[in-house]
Amino acid sequence: MNTDHHLAFLGIATGETGSRCVVCGRNIDSDNYHVDRYNRRACTCHNVQCCCFCGRIIGNDAVDVPYFGTACGRCGSERSYDELETIRTFCYSFFASHKLYLPAVRICLLSAEEMQLAHGSPEGTPRGVASRNSSGYRIDLMRQLSRIGMAKTLAHELAHLWQWHRNIDAPHTYCEGFCNLVASLVVSQISKTEALVILHQMMENPDPAYGAAFRELKIVYDIHGWQTLIEAMKTFQDRS
């Protein structure tokens, strides 16, 4: 499952003037303004919101995402199966090049509402869920994610599949931490500001599994490399 906290970050900055406000379109003539991690700016007189998926300040293209929040237009527009195919190919190339073999899986796009009905809990609506039953593996992804957000979520869920397929039964924290490490490595191949924002958020996530265990495994990976990390995960293999 993937329930990472939102990317919203908003600060009041003081700096150069003359940039355009993403809400009203006027030049910001004060040296005080709202600013997000993309360096998009808005006048302090607006009651600004950040996109629940990518964290951008929302201009005039707010889209209500039921059960989830308010998204910017680029995230709120739903991803198509054609886009998913491009994202899937991108994620699979990472798994292939790291010798993580994946079982066959059916990947489905669900609206936020459908996601809530199928997998919602009091903690919220997940962005992605992997499941397995007698008919095989399945991954459900929220359609409204940004492309990079979807790549991150899909990579995370595929890492669950790899663990199940290899009978790796790690404690919850390492299970999710490993999935987030894989997701971070996939996202780090994308040279876009949003990828940096996502990586920043992952590094700051206070959650014991998605944050702390992820960072612990990242240190193993950074110092000892990929092979050592995989060997460490395989110590949780159930050989019974």
Closest to Zn ion by CB, 148 or 179: 179
* Chain residues that interact with Zn ion, rule: CB under 5 A: 1, 21, 23-24, 43, 51, 53-54, 72, 75, 176, 179
Q: Are 212 and 146 within 8 A, CB to CB?
A: no
Shortest distance in whole angstroms from residue 171 CB to Zn ion? 13
Which helix (H) or strand (E) segment holds residue 105: the answer is strand 105-110
User: Are residues 71 and 62 in contact, defined by beta-carbon separation less than 8 angstroms?
Assistant: yes
Identity of the residue, 27 or 93, whose beta carbon is nearer to Zn ion in the bound complex: 27
> Which C-beta is closer to Zn ion: that of 88 or that of 119?
119
* Nearer to Zn ion (CB atom), residue 86 or residue 131: 131
Alpha carbon separation from 228 to 179, 185, 187, 216, 219 (Å, rounded): 16, 16, 21, 13, 11
Minimum Å gap between C-beta 54 and Zn ion is 3
Residue 120: helix, strand or coil by DSSP? coil
**Shortest distance (Å) from residue 202 CB to Zn ion:** 13
Nearer to Zn ion, 44 or 86 (CB): 44
Look up residue 5 and give its DSSP letter: P
The least CB distance from residue 126 to Zn ion, in Å, is: 8
Q: Which residue type is seen at 53?
A: F
Q: What pairs with residue 21 in β-bridges?
A: 41
**Helix, coil or strand: residue 217:** helix
Q: From the CB of 173, what's the least distance to Zn ion, in Å?
A: 11
Q: Rounded to an integer, what is the distance from CA 73 to the centroid of its chain?
A: 18
